[in-house]
Amino acid sequence: MVCQTVRSCVLNDQIEDDDLSEVEVMTLPLDAWHRARGGRMVEFAGYFMPVQYEGILAEHLWTRESAGLFDVSHMGQLFVSGEGVEAALEAVLPIDLSTLKLGSVRYSLLLDENGGILDDLMVSRWNEGFYLVVNGATKWDDIGTLREALPDEVTLNHLEDHALLALQGPKAFAALERLVSGEYPLSALTFMKGGRFVLGGADVWISRSGYTGEDGFEISVPNEAAVAVADLICAQPQVKPIGLGARDSLRLEAGLPLYGHDLSPDTDPVSAGLTFGINKRRRIEGGFPGADHVLKVLADGPATLRIGLALEGRQAAREGALVFAGETQVGRVCSGGFSPSLEHPIAMAYVDAAQAANGTALEIDLRGKRLPARVVPMPFVPHNYHR
């Protein structure tokens, strides 16, 4: 059976060498690089990707304490440009591009006509247009949705000739600063800011962003320079290569949703706690897909909310587990696992809004056994972004 998600292969502690011979799985520019370093490869989002090197727990804690290099080249890098591009993107996304400055990065959402979440993404303003990073598992659908919605005057280019690396952790800056050059120093970048630099002789785009809750950088690099850049970064004493398993446990501790698990067309941005992805002007004016439904939920309040749960004991709750208040089912777990940093299980769940207050005592059903849990604030581990 092919591992369809990291959750089924990693968080259930059932990593297996699956028979992938009958499945067409693509490789990334760093495929041989990962294998040479002992990366254990699994299928994820249609690509072979490293799930771990020396072990998920060790890689997780190393990233929290030092710096880890993640290959996230499976994600979609898109460039949108042309006459009227700003208005065209605002008709598709609930973002206010008039307040997005050159080099700035902003979180946004791709919604369907009912306000359901098709994807979450990052948008950056470049001189010539807008750079979007979308999720790997949804990128082909996203490209189709965007091309259908954008007018003929606007061009969407899929940057398949670029890899994407993420250097994350409290020592990421120290490791990267000595390696880059540009018109301004790397220290000029604060959280959600980006710019052009030279790294390993290659022209790259670097943004101070990531998916771990730690300080860090995402680096878009030409495919032909990816190996040299990865070698250069991992030659720094603060840096080790890190796999998808630790990326998932890190993002869970940071309270960050994963598309396909915590987000889907069945969830709206308000229930998901992502209203910051709908900028202030757009909440007033609307004009984006699903606006009528989303603005109504904003006004009336959501029926369910994504919340954090801390569990007692050592047994973790998994995606799909039912959440109870007494004998009444009030929700369902969407992500769960053991927190290496906190040394106890944590989970995210959608529960009835009446049960979402911090401190609320709940129970999670695990194969007929009830696990005590309580609602806690997210993130579970404080964010360490460099603002």
Q: What digits encode the pLDDT tens for the residues 307-320?
A: 999 999 999 999 99
Q: Are residues 279 and 360 in the same domain?
A: yes
- Look at residue 11 in the predicted model and tell me its pLDDT: 38
Q: What is the CATH number of the domain that holds 144?
A: 3.30.70.1400
Same domain membership, residue 60 and residue 90? no
Does any domain span residue 258?
no
Task: Tell me: pLDDT of 300 over 60.
Answer: yes
Structural domain includes residue 142 = yes
Spatial separation of the C-alpha atoms in residues 158 and 107, rounded to whole Å: 19
The predicted pLDDT at position 24 comes to 85
* 108 within domain boundaries: yes
- Token pair recorded at residue 32: 């041989």
37 and 173 together in one domain: yes
Q: Is the pLDDT of residue 5 over 60?
A: no
**Domain-embedded: residue 268:** no
Residues 6+ apart with CB under 8 A from 334: 257, 261, 262, 306, 319, 348, 349, 350
Strand partners, 271: none
CATH number for the domain that contains residue 371: 2.40.30.110
- Tens-digit pLDDT profile for residues 224-276: 999 999 999 999 999 999 999 999 999 999 999 999 999 999 999 999 999 99
Specify whether 173 is located in the same domain as 116.
no
Q: Which two tokens stand for residue 99?
A: 């307040």
* Residue at 290 is within a domain: yes
Average pLDDT over residues 299-306: 98
Q: What pLDDT is stored for residue 259 in this prediction?
A: 96
Looking only at the bridges linking them, the beta strands covering 361-366 and 322-325 are antiparallel
47/123 Cα distance (integer angstroms): 24
> Tens of pLDDT along 34-48?
999 999 999 999 999
Q: Is 264 exposed, middle or buried (0-12, 13-18, 19+ CB in 10 A)?
A: middle
- By CB atoms closer than 10 A (0-12, 13-18, 19+), residue 365 is middle
Q: Are residues 52 and 177 in the same domain?
A: yes
Model confidence over 81-105: pLDDT tens digits?
A: 999 999 999 999 999 999 999 999 9
247 belongs to a structural domain: yes
- DSSP class of residue 230 equals H
Q: Please calculate the CA angle 82-217-188 and round it to the nearest 5 degrees.
A: 80
Q: What is the tens place of the pLDDT at every residue in 117-174?
A: 999 999 999 999 999 999 999 999 999 999 999 999 999 999 999 999 999 999 999 9
Residue 384 maps to a domain: no
Find the domain containing 197 and state its range. Answer: 6-67+166-253
d(CA 121, CA 277): 9
Residue at which a domain ends, from 127, 158, 189: 158
Q: Is residue 269 part of a domain?
A: no
Residue 335 CA neighbour count, 13 Å, CB half: 27
Supply the mean pLDDT for the chain. 94
